[in-house]
């Protein structure tokens, strides 16, 4: 086995340990942030260098080393890099635990990288738990009442979701006798070498159907899809704001990565089903998720809770791409490449919004939307950046969100799901109300004071990177879409 194919993950593990050891001996804690950023740059750089080569799976076919996994490894490294960069000022709120904070971000990023690469149910579950346990701790890092309550709620509901996911895996294993995703597909699509008769159609097996439904439920918790979204508002509000940002994009991207890999590799192919493809399940979930996320976001007065419900709605838009993927022909990768593009653009957009919120909240010490009144006069550049990100979340040009929704909706229309696109567009119109309400408060409201909103250079650099990315992907999306299409080629039969 060639361990060089595992360098991105080894790098993050080594740097996480190094951060813990340095925390014991250095007084200047900015070194911890610098070392963490260096580890992420190395891991992301190695992943980029590995792009485009055909590598064999490693660890007895438990982990894939393909362009799909590498795309997400670079995405996760970039997300963690921006989150750590944006924490420069915020980290003073947990001065004594900065080493643990940065190490846990690196370990959770390691888990997300493994989730995207998993080709076996056992390695998938272990990587999910590595990510989840790190996030449970990070959510409670402020150690106040809200943060502790959010961490406990996330832990309890996450444990239930993990149990459901594990039981679903057990049922799939019980039906097929396999844990490797490719072997599961081989069993379900035809007779195995040791079997005289072909296996029965999967839709005649209640055990397998229940297993697949349980997998959807477990993954639905990770992507905050209805009805598995109940943890989102309280956790988003109580967690440290950088971790809320990290959860909103990192955990969601990891969830969609494993959904794409598992449902294509193990359960893909029209020949497997005697009823409409599993894409229809995701279409129904997408409708419910979009509607509930957008409607409940309208009355919110806390901007973190509002963006929490917004992230639920965004998961609904993403599931439009999953539905198109499930109903597409075998040689089409439009749905899944659209999902990959959407995830990358959404990461930049939502991180940008949360970084602006971090900077503003550090000054006004409040997350209430009403307290953002007149921010356009006090901090015009910050208000402009937040406005751009909110416009992108609506899906308006020239921001990245417009192109992301365009690719997702186009894939759905081409797969005869115009009804789903109409519902999604109507939901986008509804979302404009609560997004633009924040813009109105910032630019038309009267400021509570004339004090400026200061911050250090690191979070402003992170915000600049996000805003630049949002604009570039909205104006010239071709390069990222091409990379997404290359990464999606693993989904062709």
The alpha carbon dihedral of 82, 148, 32, 364 has a sign of positive
Question: What does DSSP assign to residue 57?
Answer: P
Answer whether the bond into residue 227 is a cis peptide, omega within 30°.
yes
pLDDT of 299: 92
pLDDT bracket for residue 201 (50, 70, 90): low
pLDDT of 73: 94
CA distances from 216 to 220, 229, 399, 427 (A): 6, 13, 31, 23
pLDDT of 268: 66
Is 315 a residue whose pLDDT tops 50? yes
How far apart are alpha carbons 385 and 350 in whole angstroms? 11
**Of the ranges 5-9, 69-73, 318-322, 333-337, which one carries the lowest mean pLDDT score?**
333-337
pLDDT bracket for residue 328 (50, 70, 90): low
pLDDT of 273: 45
What mean pLDDT is predicted for residues 183-205? 59
pLDDT of 278: 67
Could you read off the pLDDT of 252-310 as tens digits, one per residue? 999 999 988 888 787 765 444 433 456 788 888 899 999 999 999 999 999 999 999 99
Question: What does DSSP assign to residue 198?
Answer: P
How far apart are alpha carbons 372 and 368 in whole angstroms? 7
Question: What does DSSP assign to residue 56?
Answer: P
The alpha carbon dihedral of 85, 115, 281, 161 has a sign of negative
Helix then strand then coil, % of the chain, to nearest 5 = 75, 0, 20
Q: What is the mean pLDDT of the chain?
A: 86
What mean pLDDT is predicted for residues 389-413? 91
Return the percentage of the chain with pLDDT > 70, whole number.
Answer: 91
Could you read off the pLDDT of 443-478 as tens digits, one per residue? 988 887 878 888 888 899 999 999 999 999 999 998
How far apart are alpha carbons 357 and 242 in whole angstroms? 9
Tell me the angle at which helices 303-327 and 279-297 cross, rounded to the nearest 10 degrees. 160
pLDDT of 332: 58
* Residue 20 burial class via C-beta count within 10 angstroms: exposed 0-12, middle 13-18, buried 19 and up: middle
pLDDT of 192: 44
Q: What is the pTM of this model?
A: 0.91
* Residue tagged 């509804």 (tokens): 430
Could you read off the pLDDT of 12-71 as tens digits, one per residue? 999 999 999 998 888 887 889 999 999 999 999 999 999 887 777 888 888 888 899 999
How far apart are alpha carbons 370 and 357 in whole angstroms? 13
On whether the CB atoms of residues 362 and 458 are closer than 8 A, the answer is: no
pLDDT of 271: 46
pLDDT of 274: 38
Point out which residues pair with 58 in neighbouring strands: 63
Could you read off the pLDDT of 352-370 as tens digits, one per residue? 999 999 998 888 888 899 9
Return the percentage of the chain with pLDDT > 90, whole number.
Answer: 46
Higher-confidence position of 328 and 489? 489
**Of the ranges 131-135, 196-200, 330-334, which one carries the lowest mean pLDDT score?**
196-200
Could you read off the pLDDT of 105-141 as tens digits, one per residue? 999 999 999 999 998 999 999 999 999 999 999 998 8
């Amino acid at each position: 086995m060639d361990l060089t194919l595992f360098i991105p993950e080894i790098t993050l593990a080594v740097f996480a340990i190094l951060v813990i050891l340095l925390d014991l001996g250095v007084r200047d804690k900015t070194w911890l942030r610098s070392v963490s950023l260096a580890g992420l740059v190395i891991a992301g750089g190695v992943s980029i260098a590995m792009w485009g080569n055909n590598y064999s799976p490693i660890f007895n076919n438990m982990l894939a080393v393909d362009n799909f996994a590498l795309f997400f490894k670079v995405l996760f490294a970039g997300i963690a890099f921006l989150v750590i960069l944006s924490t420069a000022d915020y980290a003073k709120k947990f001065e004594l635990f900065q080493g643990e904070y940065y190490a846990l971000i690196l370990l959770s990023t390691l888990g997300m990288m493994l989730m995207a690469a998993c080709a076996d149910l056992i390695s998938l579950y272990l990587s999910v738990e590595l990510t989840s346990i790190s996030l449970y701790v990070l959510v409670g890092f402020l150690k106040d009442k809200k943060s502790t309550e959010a961490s406990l709620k996330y832990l309890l509901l996450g444990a239930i979701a993990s149990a459901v996911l594990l039981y679903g895996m057990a049922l799939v294993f019980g039906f097929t006798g396999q844990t490797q995703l490719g072997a599961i597909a081989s069993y379900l699509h035809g007779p195995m070498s040791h079997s005289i008769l072909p296996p029965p159609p999967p839709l005649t097996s209640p055990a397998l159907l229940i297993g697949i439904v349980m997998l959807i439920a477990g993954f639905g918790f990770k992507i905050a899809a209805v009805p598995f979204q109940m943890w989102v508002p309280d956790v988003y509000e109580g967690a440290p704001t950088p971790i809320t940002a990290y959860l909103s994009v990192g955990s969601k991207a990891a969830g969609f990565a494993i959904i794409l890999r598992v449902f294509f590799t193990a359960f893909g192919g029209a020949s497997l089903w005697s009823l409409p493809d599993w894409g229809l399940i995701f279409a129904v979930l997408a409708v419910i998720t979009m509607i509930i996320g957008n409607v409940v976001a309208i009355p919110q007065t806390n901007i973190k809770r509002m963006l929490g419900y917004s992230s639920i709605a965004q998961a609904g838009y993403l599931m439009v791409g999953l539905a198109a993927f499930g109903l597409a022909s075998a040689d089409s990768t439009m749905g899944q490449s659209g999902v990959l593009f959407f995830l990358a653009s959404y990461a930049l957009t939502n991180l940008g919004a949360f970084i602006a919120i971090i900077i503003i909240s550090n000054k006004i010490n409040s997350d209430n939307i009403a307290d953002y009144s007149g921010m356009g006069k006090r901090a015009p550049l910050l208000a402009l950046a937040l406005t751009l990100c909110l416009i992108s979340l609506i899906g308006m040009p020239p921001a990245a969100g417009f192109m992301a929704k365009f690719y997702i909706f186009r894939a759905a229309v081409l797969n005869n799901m115009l009804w789903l696109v109409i519902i999604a567009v109507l939901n986008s119109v509804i979302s404009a109300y609560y997004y633009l309400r924040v813009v109105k408060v910032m630019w038309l409201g009267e400021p509570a004071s004339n004090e400026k909103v200061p911050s250090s250079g690191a979070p402003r650099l992170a915000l600049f990177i996000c805003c630049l990315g949002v604009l570039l992907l909205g104006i010239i999306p071709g390069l990222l879409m091409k990379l997404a299409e290359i990464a999606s080629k693993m989904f062709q039969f």
